[in-house]
């Protein structure tokens, strides 16, 4: 840094300070070329499908050195149809690492992204931040992978952003912010048309950041309000949507209290439009369960939110205000572990665990739902199923399943 400043002696102090502000964020960015090795892929036997169950095949995926998959694996598909998975893995010595799995035709390979710290943290807030996180991942139009995750460093929890260029295998990592409150397990992540990164997360309240200037500058959208009946609570979860016109919607979780007893968890929403942030009102109720089971995407040209709604499926569509309803799915009571997406045929699909830990895939057709149970897969721990649209309107589902007593990634492909 000193050598750089000495090379520009005729510049003003203000100019030097501006250059320093540009250089410092760049110095905090870590880059490395990933080292890939073949991943292990094995068939996973599912029972024969019935008329009420999904016709599917399954495989297990694992990397060398893995002891057990932790929590929920996140997955996305690129423009060539290949799958990319980012997940937290436990290695020997109870160390947590962030790992990357990618599909190469019929083969898979893995690489280590980051060392996250020991699973056995003395501070429960830190251990929950590692083990319960869903390291959100998306891919942009150029094929670059973007993801956010938590790690423990210097006895504090860091929210980190990373990107991977699949063609070069080059990894870039940067710390966005030190988390001083309880961490949100589901964070919002979206990429705009200019490939700028936008994230939402919790740190003493709902926060937002983008990297349009080359580094992340967090903005507080809704601070904690523990002394009010309706407030943003510690550990709030969020999701995000950037509309075609550039407006940003961030549905997030809040709590309604009466006499300091929880009456309901709800979904509120912040929107960025015309250069300002504003609150646009409650999008739905989650019942009394703390959950990260909600996703937002464009359906029929409108922002549409699907969420857990106290044993049923919640639906909210935004047209300047929220239009809300709930759906019962096949007589089964939903747990809060669900994910939703728009399938390749333009129809919403929701993958969920029932309260009796069974896995279901549900497709929407108008106001009706077709529900199929996935035989041979049950919920393991508190992990969520992740749905990724496939060809011909079908889906791939990624779960943390119990394989011979260990948490393992299982990819279930609809046939």
pLDDT given at position 250:
97
pLDDT given at position 285:
85
Tens digit of pLDDT for each residue in 173-220? Answer: 999 999 998 889 999 999 999 999 999 999 999 999 999 999 999 999
The model's confidence at residue 30, banded by pLDDT at 50, 70 and 90, is confident
The model's confidence at residue 167, banded by pLDDT at 50, 70 and 90, is confident
Q: Which residues neighbour 327 within 8 Å (Cβ) at sequence distance 6 or greater?
A: 312, 313, 315, 369
Tens digit of pLDDT for each residue in 324-342? Answer: 999 999 889 999 999 999 9
CATH 2.120.10.10 domain locations along the chain: 45-414
CATH topology classification for 45-414: Neuraminidase (2.120.10)
11 or 60, higher pLDDT: 60
Question: Rounded mean pLDDT of 54-73?
Answer: 95
Question: Rounded mean pLDDT of 354-363?
Answer: 96
The model's confidence at residue 256, banded by pLDDT at 50, 70 and 90, is low
DSSP string across 173-236: EEEEEEE-SPPPSB-EEEE-TT--EEEEEESSEEEEEE-TTSS---EEEEE--TTSSEEPPTT-
The model's confidence at residue 230, banded by pLDDT at 50, 70 and 90, is low
pLDDT given at position 118:
94
Residue 271 scores a pLDDT above 70: yes
The rounded Cα 317 to chain-centroid distance in angstroms is: 21
pLDDT given at position 4:
34
Three-class SS state of 13: helix
Taking a C-beta distance cutoff of 8 angstroms, is the pair 91, 102 a contact? no
Angle at CA of residue 290, ends 223 and 236, nearest 5°: 20
Residue 5 scores a pLDDT above 50: no
Strand-pairing partners, residue 37, are: 110
Residue 171 scores a pLDDT above 60: yes
pLDDT given at position 8:
33
pLDDT given at position 18:
40
pLDDT given at position 28:
66
Tens digit of pLDDT for each residue in 276-325? Answer: 999 988 888 887 666 678 999 999 999 999 999 989 999 999 998 899 99
pLDDT given at position 326:
96
Residue 231 scores a pLDDT above 70: no
Question: Rounded mean pLDDT of 47-63?
Answer: 95
The CA distance from 78 to 144, in Å, is: 9
pLDDT given at position 168:
84
Tens digit of pLDDT for each residue in 378-405? Answer: 999 989 999 999 988 999 999 999 998 8
- Candidates 336, 369, 329; CA nearest to 353 is 336
Question: Rounded mean pLDDT of 362-378?
Answer: 95
- From residue 9, alpha-carbon distances to 5, 12, 39, 410 in Å are 7, 8, 53, 60
pLDDT given at position 24:
38
**Where does 106-169 show beta strands of DSSP type E?**
107-118, 137-139, 145-153, 156-165
Look up residue 122 and give its DSSP letter.
S
pLDDT given at position 37:
96
259 or 45, higher pLDDT: 45
pTM, rounded to two decimals: 0.90
Tens digit of pLDDT for each residue in 89-119? Answer: 999 999 999 999 999 989 999 999 999 999 9
Q: What H or E segment, with its residue span, contains residue 70?
A: strand 68-77
């Amino acid at each position: 840094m000193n050598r750089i400043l000495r090379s520009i002696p005729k510049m003003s102090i203000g100019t030097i300070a501006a250059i320093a502000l540009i250089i410092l964020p760049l110095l905090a960015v870590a880059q490395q070329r990933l080292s890939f090795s073949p991943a292990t892929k094995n068939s996973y036997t599912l029972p024969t499908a019935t008329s009420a169950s999904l016709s599917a095949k399954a495989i297990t995926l694992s990397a060398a050195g893995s002891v057990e998959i932790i929590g929920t694996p996140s997955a996305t598909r690129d423009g060539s149809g290949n799958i990319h998975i980012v997940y937290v893995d436990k290695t020997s010595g109870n160390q947590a690492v962030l790992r990357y799995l990618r599909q190469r035709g019929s083969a898979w390979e893995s690489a280590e992204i980051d060392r996250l710290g020991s699973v056995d943290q003395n501070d429960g807030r830190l251990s929950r931040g590692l083990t319960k996180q869903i390291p959100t991942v998306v891919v942009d139009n150029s094929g670059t992978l973007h993801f956010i995750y938590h790690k423990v460093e210097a006895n504090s929890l860091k929210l980190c952003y990373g990107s991977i260029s699949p063609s070069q295998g080059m990894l870039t990592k940067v710390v966005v912010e030190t988390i001083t409150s309880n961490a949100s397990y589901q964070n919002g992540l979206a990429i705009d048309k200019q490939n700028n990164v936008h994230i939402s997360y919790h740190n003493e309240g709902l926060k937002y950041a983008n990297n349009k200037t080359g580094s992340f500058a967090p903005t507080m959208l809704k601070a904690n309000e523990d002394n009010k009946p309706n407030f943003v609570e510690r550990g709030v979860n969020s999701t995000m949507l950037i509309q075609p016109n550039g407006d940003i919607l961030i549905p997030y979780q809040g709590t309604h209290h009466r006499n300091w007893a929880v009456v309901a968890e709800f979904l509120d929403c912040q929107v960025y439009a015309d250069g300002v942030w504003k609150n646009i009102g409650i999008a739905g109720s989650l019942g009394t369960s703390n959950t990260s089971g909600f996703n937002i995407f464009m359906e029929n040209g409108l922002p549409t939110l699907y969420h857990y709604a106290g044993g049923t499926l919640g639906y909210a569509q935004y047209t300047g205000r929220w239009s809300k309803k709930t759906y019962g799915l096949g007589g089964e009571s939903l747990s809060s572990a669900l994910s939703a997406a728009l399938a390749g045929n333009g129809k919403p699909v929701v993958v969920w665990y029932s309260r009796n830990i069974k896995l279901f895939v549900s497709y929407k057709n108008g106001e009706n739902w077709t529900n199929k149970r996935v035989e041979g897969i049950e919920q393991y721990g508190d992990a969520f199923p992740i749905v990724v649209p496939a060809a011909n309107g079908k889906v791939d589902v990624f779960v943390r399943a119990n394989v011979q007593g260990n948490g393992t990634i299982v990819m279930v492909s609809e046939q």
